[in-house]
Structure formats: C-alpha cells, structure tokens
Chains A and B, each alone.
Chain A
Amino acid sequence: MAGRGEQRTRPCGAAPGPAEDHGAAPERVLFPPAFSVSEIKNKQRRHFMFLRWKQQQRKEKLANKKKRKKEREVLGDQAPPKPVPKTIENQRVYDETTVDPNDEEVAFDEATDEFAPYFNRQTVPKILITTSDRPRGRTVRFCEQLSSIVPNSHVYYRRGLALKKIIPQCIARNFTDLIVVNEDRKIPNGLVLSHLPDGPTAHFKMSSVRLRKEIKRKGKEPTEHIPEVILNNFTTRLGHSVGRMLASLFPHDPQFIGRQVATFHNQRDYIFFRFHRYIFKSEKKVGIQELGPRFTLKLRSIQKGTFDSKFGEYEWIHKHREMDTSRRKFHL
C-alpha cells in the first residue's frame, strides 16, 4: 500500500512562482504554489491529510491562546480588556424602529392609542376566553388555567358560533378583550388576542404549552390576587404595541400581597410567558416558584380592527420568505 507520506505532487501546469519575482526584495520569499488538501483525488488519503491539517489548526489555536494568556498575566493591570464574545443579541441588526425611552412621539402615540384608557386606569379589563370549534381536553384545561391566571376572565365554549357574531355581543356586555385559543390535533397551537372596542387584533402562534401538572416543582394554585406584569425586551415600536396589548389583559393595579407575577419575556421574537410566585429572602435575593401554565408565542400578524380575516386591514404580517432571511434580524 502506498505510504501515507507527503503527497507533494505539484498540480500539473503550475508555473514555478519565483520565476516572476527576480527583482523583488530578498525578504519576500515566494513559495511555489502550494497544493491544497482538496486536490487529492484519493478519498482516504485526502481524509487523512485533512485530519492532519485540522490537528495542526487546533494546535496552533491552543498555542495562541496560551500565548495570549501569558501576555495577559504579564501585563497584569494594563492588560487590554477581554474581548466580549459575540452573541446573537449583540450582533442583532439595528432596527430603526427601536424605541428610545425619551422619545416624545412614541409617548404621545401611546397616550392616544387604544390602550390609553386602560393605562390611565379608566377601564378595567374583562376578558372572554374561548376556543375554536370542538376543543379537546388539553385545550379545555388550558383555557381553564388561563382564566384562573388572568383576573376577571370568563371561559365560554364556542359551539359553532361565528366570531363576527360573537364580537358585537361581547362589546355589548362590556368585555374589553377576547382571547381565542386555536386548536389543532388536540393541542392548542394558536392564539388570537383581540382588543374589543375596535382595537387591534394580534394573531400568535403558540407552542410549548405546559399545563400546571406538567410543570415540575410547581407551587399551589394561583390565588385570586391580581398579579404583577413584567414585560422584557420589547424594544421596537411593534414590540411596544404588542407589549401594551399583552399588559392590558391584566388590571393595572397589582396586589402585591399576592406576590404573583406574570412575565412576558421577548427573546429573538419569541415571547415566553411564565407565571411565578416570588418571595424576597433579602434585599438582594429573591426566590421564585413557577405556578401556572407556560407557553411561548410568536407573533404572526396584527390587524387594525377587530377580527376580520377577509377585509381586515393588516398592520403587520409575518412573511417568512422575506423576514426570515437574516438570522440577526428581529422584529419585536
């Protein structure tokens, strides 16, 4: 078997390099055109050479690391600061609709949009939770648990009623929000959140739904106290409006005695919902215990008016062919 030695076969037809450079300075040493590992035709030998090359790279990398570490130790205090590792959040493409906290225009908009009366404490939310047709057990239980979390909410079954007919009735009975849990193949997979007196309608894709009994180390049942709300990472205008919509589900005056907190955390366009009970062990330590159901939402579309799939005016639709092209671009 031919030895697995160096295969220094020059690719045929390659002109020797130094021929061109006779007049160059002696420091510029020109090597003959080196071959690359990918030019070997034999797969076994090529693989072997590649592994060797990889090992070399690793060795070099390790050596560089050690050198840098030594330099850092030698320099001590004057060492340059450690480079920050790149994360997706660091590398996120800057979104021009990012809200600046001091922006007056945004503040003005928010003072005059549909949620203003809620945030001014003029209205108390009253929520209707329903499902799509013929809900299965899991969805039903999920709706019950959701209604135990959201104060002042009622679950009604949809027995073949059209949403467009339900909505005027809800408005007549002073409901402020409508939640429709859509079900597919016996699991809830979608959420339509509609703010009622002609407010915006948001359609989410819901995933990873865990009911209370599937949560490990959960606490007792959530009590009737009004929970606090935490909204994390809603940075853009769109994110702001979604955040306000979600926050308007809960009454604006939380009861701190209850020590319950509902969190909507946005990370890379996925909104994680958690419901915890917290306890302050000291002023620097807090313990949290997960109670209620958990789920993740991904925004699919926002409509201006109430739910109307045919003639509605869409404010934002997620078009995955256009919006999913970059891994560093997020919209919420």
Chain B
Amino acid sequence: MHSDEVVWDTLGNKQFCSYKIKTKTQNFCRNEYNLTGLCNRSSCPLANSQYATIKEEKGQCYLYMKTIERAAFPNRLWERVRLSRNYEKALEEIDENLVYWPRFIRHKCKQRFTKITQYLIRIRKLTLKRQRKLVPLSKKVERREKRREEKALIAAQLDNAIEKELLERLKQETYGDIYNFPIHAFDKALEQQDAESETDSDVEKEEEEEDEDADKREFVEVDESDLSDFEDMDKLATSSEEDDKSSSEEEETETEEKVRHTKSKGKTPLKGPARRKRAYVEIEYERETEPASKSKAT
C-alpha cells in the first residue's frame, strides 16, 4: 500500500483503522499527528504522504512535516521545526516552512497553532490563580468520626450542661440585679422562720408573684398571662387575656397583671408543645393558709 488513494480506500472507508473512532454523527482520528482530529481524506496522516502538524510539548510549539521522499525511512519520517514564542513570528515561520504546500494544510496548521497558544495562555493564567486542592477522605475515618460525634453528643447532655452553667452564673451573681431572686435572703428567712406558719414559706416559694403579697384574694392567672410575649401563644394569650380582664374584679389585679405581664417578660420558659397542651384557665385563690401545692408556671 504505497499510494494514498489505496490507503484511504482501505483504511479510511472499508476496513479497520485502529485510530478511527466512530460516533453517531462524526468520525474522529486518534492519531497523534492528525491536524484536525477528524477522520477525513485530507486529514488522515496515513493517507497523505505530504503532511504537516503542529504539536506542543511543555509549552513549546513544534511544526512537524512529512514528505513522500522520506516515506521509506520511518525513523526520519517526521521533520521537526521549533516555532518561535512570538505568535506573529511563529505564523511567519509556518508560512515559510510550508511555502509550496497545499492551502488546506497551511491553513489548518495555522489554526491549530492559534488554538494551542490560546490554551497555553489560559493554563498560565490559571496556575497563577488559586488552585482547588482536593483532599482525599478516608471513608473509614469519616464513618468513625461521625459515629464518635453522635456518641459525644449523647454524652454531652448539652441542655443540662447549659442550664447548670446558667444557674451557676445566677448563683454567682454575675447578673447583678436584673433577676429578683433573693436567694440568700430567702434561705436565711427559711432558717429563721422555720417553725412559723405556712404563709412565710409560701411567700418564699412564690417569688414570681411578689405583687400578690399584699392581696389576700385574687384571681391569679398563672399560665396564660405569661404567654403574652410569645407570638406562638398569641391566640391563647389573647383569649385568656380577655378572660382575665373579664374575670378580674379589682383594678389592682388588672394593674398587677399588667405589671406582671411586663415582669413576666423575663420569666416564662417556652417549650412549645408543653404549652399548647394547656388550654384552660387555672384560677387560684390566694389565702393566708394556702395549701403547699402551688403549681408553677411550667
């Protein structure tokens, strides 16, 4: 097979060419010396005895040429010319070397050279920017750490720890005068008035309702008044506030409730579901001898 036509007839069209890749719409050529990358009669390096390509090696572009005179000497087949780094000069060099060559090859060589220089420029620009470094993760280590984290979370008992710390801080009086829990005073009072009536102990227990100390009997809205701050409880609150106002007999209680409203801004815990369960009004009568069981606003 020496003639180009024969070669193309055989390899290109009829029989197997190992460089050929067929896709649905096009044929590609995997030959490293191919100028365009497609499998064509004019681009096949095997089927053209006079052929030229541009190849790039480590940032340097070379022009490879093959002529029919050297077809018998495969190791000397491809002649290599180094192109200058300057784009225009390199184009001139290509022209110079391929001066009497077919137009197609000259044109395609210059096109390929342009594309190569463009991607080289892009590579240089990108390497100057920050590269993303991919760090491989070991699946085993990841699984182990995830499991350990879950166990640590359970062991941590975060809520309890936080609550304990906050109570510690309250005890250490870091909050100053904001919260009127006179702990020490009450402890002393407890010790002193241990044997006395339950009123004192009630007073100690009910620091929240300090307003009611004066009154003997009121309608005390324990739950719903405290909900007034949180929008979740708005519906409940509004309905119960109306209940409140309708049921309260004295003006004092109203003002007190208002005061308590503002005071209780700082007091109610909000655990949503726990609150929602209560839809009823708890009414308590404050008496001097109230039984010890007073339900707290929880």
A-side residues, CB < 8 A to B, are 87-89, 133, 160, 162, 207-208, 217, 219-220, 228, 230, 232, 256-257, 259, 261, 263, 265, 267-270, 272, 274, 276, 278-289, 296, 298, 320, 324
- In the bound assembly, the distance between CA atoms of A279 and B271 in angstroms comes to 11
Q: Cβ of A269: which chain B residues have Cβ within 8 Å of it?
A: 152
Q: Could you tell me if A88 and B155 are in contact, using CB atoms closer than 8 angstroms?
A: yes
Residues of A within 8 A of B207 (CB): 282-283
- Give the total number of A-B pairs whose CB atoms are below 8 A apart: 118
CB proximity of B189 to chain A, nearest CB, Å: 13
- The answer on a CB contact under 8 Å between B153 and A286 is no
- SS class of chain A's interface: helix, strand, loop or mixed? strand
Most buried by B among A257, A268, A272, A282: A282
Collect the chain A residues with CB atoms within 8 Å of residue B270's CB: 219, 279, 287, 289
Closest 9 CB pairs of A and B: A287-B269, A283-B181, A267-B156, A268-B152, A267-B152, A270-B152, A283-B183, A217-B272, A286-B166
Docked-complex contact A274 and B162, CB < 8 angstroms: yes
Q: Is B129 an interface residue (CB 8 A)?
A: yes
**Cβ–Cβ contact A283 & B141, under 8 A:** no
**Of the residues B158, B170, B231, contact of A272 by C-beta under 8 Å:** B158
Binding site for A on B (CB under 8 A): 129-130, 132, 141, 144-146, 148-149, 151-153, 155-156, 158-159, 161-163, 165-167, 169-171, 175-176, 178-179, 181, 183, 207-208, 230-231, 266-273, 296-298
The interface residues of chain B lying within 8 Å CB-to-CB of A296 are 149, 153
Knowing A217-B273, A261-B166, A280-B266 are in contact, say whether A267-B129 is a contact too (CB < 8 A): no
Contact of A280 among B153, B158, B170 (CB under 8 A): B170
Contact between chains at A286 and B167 (CB < 8 Å): yes
CB distance from A104 to the nearest CB of B (A): 23
How many angstroms between the C-alpha atoms of A242 and B193 in the bound complex?
Answer: 49
Task: Looking at the assembled complex, report how far the CB atom of B148 sits from the nearest CB atom of chain A, in whole angstroms.
Answer: 7
| A280 and B267 contact, CB distance less than 8 A | yes
Q: Are the CB atoms of A281 and B166 closer together than 8 Å?
A: no
B273 adjacent to A278 (CB under 8 Å) = no
A58 to chain B, nearest CB (A): 26
Q: Nearest-CB distance from A321 to chain B (Å)?
A: 10
Collect the chain A residues with CB atoms within 8 Å of residue B132's CB: 133
In chain B, what residue has the closest Cβ to A268? B152
From known contacts A280-B266, A283-B183, infer whether A267 and B162 are also in contact, taking CB-CB under 8 Å: no
Considering only CB atoms, which chain A residue lies closest to B187 in the complex?
A: A283
Tell me the complex Cα distance, A286–B179, Å: 12
Residues from chain B with Cβ under 8 Å of A160 in the complex:
129-130
> Do B162 and A279 touch across chains, with their CB atoms under 8 A apart?
no
Residues in chain B near residue A87, CB distance under 8 A: 155
Q: A267-B152, A278-B162 are in contact. List 5 more A-B contacts (CB 8 A).
A: A160-B129, A217-B273, A283-B167, A285-B298, A288-B159
Contact A270 B175 (CB under 8 A): no
Q: Is A263 a contact of B158 with CB atoms below 8 Å?
A: yes
Please, which residues of chain A bring their CB within 8 A of the CB of B268? 279, 281, 287
A20 to chain B, nearest CB (A): 50
Q: Which residues does chain A contribute within 8 Å of B148, judged by CB atoms?
A: 268, 270
Find chain B residues with CB under 8 A from A272 CB.
152-153, 156, 158
Chain B's closest residue to A190 (CB) is: B135
Known: A257-B178, A270-B148. A162 touches B269 (CB 8 A): no
Kindly list chain A residues whose C-beta atoms are within 8 Å of the C-beta of B156. Answer: 265, 267, 272
A232→B165 contact, CB < 8 A: yes
The answer to whether residues A256 and B178 also contact, given A217-B271, A296-B149 and a CB cut-off of 8 A, is: yes
Which residues does chain A contribute within 8 Å of B161, judged by CB atoms? Answer: 232, 263, 265
Q: Which of A263, A269, A287 has the most CB of B within 10 A?
A: A287
Chain A residues positioned under 8 Å from B296 (CB to CB): 281-282
A208 touching B166 in the complex, CB below 8 Å, given contacts A256-B178, A289-B269: no
- A272, B155: Cα distance in complex, Å: 12
Q: Which of B149, B155, B169, B170 contacts A207 (CB 8 A)?
A: B149
